[in-house]
Amino acid sequence: MRRMKIAILDDYLRVAETLADVRRLPPGSEVVVFDRPIPDRDELVAKLRPFDVVVLMRERTPLPAAVIENLPNLRLVVTTGGRNAAIDLAACRARNIPVSGTGSVGTPTAELTWGLILALVKRIPAEDRALRAGTWQTGLTEGLAGKRLGLVGLGKLGTQVARVGLAFGMEVVAWSPNLDDARAVAGGAKRVEKAELFATSDVISLHLVLGERTRNIVGADELSAMKPSAFFVNTSRAGLVDMDALLAALQTRRIAGAGLDVFPEEPLPPSHALCALPHVVLTPHLGYVTRENFAVFYQDALEDILAWHRGAPVRLLT
């Protein structure tokens, strides 16, 4: 096999080569890190054409058939995490290109969810800005004990969020298309209907996988049913929410505020209307961006490449 050329995409922080020992790669291997998004498809194809291996950071850069079919040297795709809906797996199978995933650390997104909730109810960003500008206290904060936490989705992440809500003395309710009473209780919540969750919760947080059944599962009807004092948090996927409806609810102060980590367009341009809203806390898709998680991502990605080079690919998604 000729010397490998490996492309690492979307390593915005340029940490891949510090978290994984690339010296373990076969002699002569060339690693090129791309630390900025490449949204233009033709440019992406041109930049990736020389490479044998492409390492993707989750779903930051899509790899559709139109790209895969124009990469004649591509022999292996590695994605961080255990799934990546932005890769056309059928196109990879048609080319006999294995796709390997990695492990991950299971708690960062739940932690960030609570960071956003606390930032909203305790007015942390607003009070920080005011204090730095010379103003001491600008408004009352909210307590959480006795309030209702509504979780849309009660899988692994939703359950982690529920446990913290219970520790704060909150009443935790949940709904998802397949949730039953027994699973809700096991996850620390009471199952309610979707309409009740949106109408009665003080904080609503989304924890669903994006798919055809869940796309825009939160729309204008759900948002208009929320209490004016309620907060909305999304650390899952932007496609779960009708963004136009959410933006309208926020711009008209129909709801108290939102904490958002995911967006229809990423990176979110600073000119976006969300950036002008002071009652919205925004983070740049940080849910999985921790040192511990990235160490697993990139070390497993290295192991994937080495295993493939030995002729025994591991953690295959295809």
Q: Going by C-beta distance under 8 Å and a sequence separation of 6 or more, which residues neighbour residue 275?
A: 268, 282
Alpha-carbon span 226 to 22, nearest angstrom: 50
127 is catalytic: no
Q: For residues 46 and 69, is the Cβ–Cβ distance under 8 A? A: no
Q: Which two tokens stand for residue 49?
A: 């054409």
Cα of 56 vs its chain's centroid, Å: 14
Q: Of 127, 142, 114, whose CA–CA distance to 256 is shortest? A: 142
What is the length of the chain? 318
Q: What burial class does residue 193 get, using C-beta atoms within 10 Å of its C-beta: 0-12 exposed, 13-18 middle, 19+ buried? A: exposed
SS3 231: strand
Q: Which one is catalytic: 285, 303, 309, 315?
A: 285
Q: Of 71, 22, 20, 21, whose CA–CA distance to 44 is shortest? A: 71
Round the CA-based radius of gyration of the chain to a whole number and report it. 22
Q: Which one is catalytic: 60, 237, 309, 315?
A: 237
Q: Which one is catalytic: 69, 163, 266, 279?
A: 266
266 is catalytic: yes
Q: For residues 63 and 87, is the Cβ–Cβ distance under 8 A? A: yes
Tell me which residue has tokens 């559709």: 64
Alpha-carbon span 30 to 58, nearest angstrom: 22
285 is catalytic: yes
Alpha-carbon span 130 to 109, nearest angstrom: 28
Q: H helices then E strands: how many in the chain?
A: 12, 12
Catalytic residues: 237, 266, 285
